[in-house]
Amino acid sequence: MSSILGISAFFHDSAACILKDGKIIAAAQEERFTRKKHDPNYPHNAIEFVLKYANLRLSEVDKIVFFEKPFLKFERLLETYVAFAPKGFVSFAKAMPIWIKEKLFQKNLLFNKLKQHDQNYKSDQNIFFSDHHLSHAASAFFPSPFDEAVVLTADGVGEWATTTVAVGKNNKLEIKKNSFSTFFRITILSIYILYWFQS
């Protein structure tokens, strides 16, 4: 039996999901426990719930997967701030300490939080980070009834990409094309020009 714990957190609508042998056993959103709409915090209650429902301890889970890659997102944020400079400096100065403390060291932060669920959970070697849009595509393709599919994701944000095309076949899924950079940079540039003209 193989098990995977999926975690989405620190952005919006934090949630947890557990799979056994590729089947979703339980999934829960943190706001259902905290009664805080779109709760972005570490989903402690949701993780507790899915583990209990799946009858697993955290130390028995094979892999833990976080929904995006913090380093790639950080790179995108930095470039956005540079594009807006010097006007974005105030929000840049506000956001950076949080990013450096919480996001860049997210594996550490996650590991420390995860240890609270089970004192026998002692190594971060089974924590992995997925690409934001690959996570979206996987959540659409793998539970679908199709063995093969083209998967289109369109999102307000990702690490870099905003729209991607992926191809799924059996247990494989690969992003073939994404809209990153060009679309994103043109959008940033347009906003900047509009902002510059209005101010």
Return the range that interacts with Fe ion (CB under 5 A); candidates 2-10, 17-25, 123-131, 147-155: 147-155
| Closest separation in Å from C-beta 30 to Fe ion | 16
Q: How far is 44 from 48, CA to CA, in rounded Å?
A: 6
102 binds Fe ion (CB under 5 A): no
Binding residues for Fe ion, rule CB under 5 A, total 1
| Closest separation in Å from C-beta 14 to Fe ion | 13
Q: Which helix H or strand E contains 177, and what residues bound it? A: strand 172-178
12 binds Fe ion (CB under 5 A): no
Contact assessment for residue 30 and residue 15, using Cβ atoms and an 8 Å cutoff: yes
| Closest separation in Å from C-beta 68 to Fe ion | 8
Nearer to Fe ion, 147 or 155 (CB): 155
Closest residue by Cα to residue 146 from 164, 163, 171:
171
Return the range that interacts with Fe ion (CB under 5 A); candidates 43-51, 90-98, 119-127, 155-163: 155-163
Q: How many other CB atoms are found less than 10 A from the CB of residue 81? A: 18
> CA dist 163 to 102, 153, 176, 179, Å?
26, 5, 11, 5
| Closest separation in Å from C-beta 46 to Fe ion | 18
3-state secondary structure of 16: strand
Contact assessment for residue 182 and residue 63, using Cβ atoms and an 8 Å cutoff: no
| Closest separation in Å from C-beta 166 to Fe ion | 14
62 binds Fe ion (CB under 5 A): no
Strands 15-20 and 63-66: unpaired
174 binds Fe ion (CB under 5 A): no
Return the range that interacts with Fe ion (CB under 5 A); candidates 23-31, 34-42, 100-108, 150-158: 150-158
Q: How far is 121 from 51, CA to CA, in rounded Å?
A: 13
Q: Of 155, 190, 195, 196, which lies in the binding site for Fe ion, with binding defined by CB under 5 A?
A: 155
| Closest separation in Å from C-beta 153 to Fe ion | 8
Nearer to Fe ion, 62 or 155 (CB): 155
Contact assessment for residue 64 and residue 43, using Cβ atoms and an 8 Å cutoff: no
Residues at the contact surface with Fe ion, assessed by CB under 5 A? 155
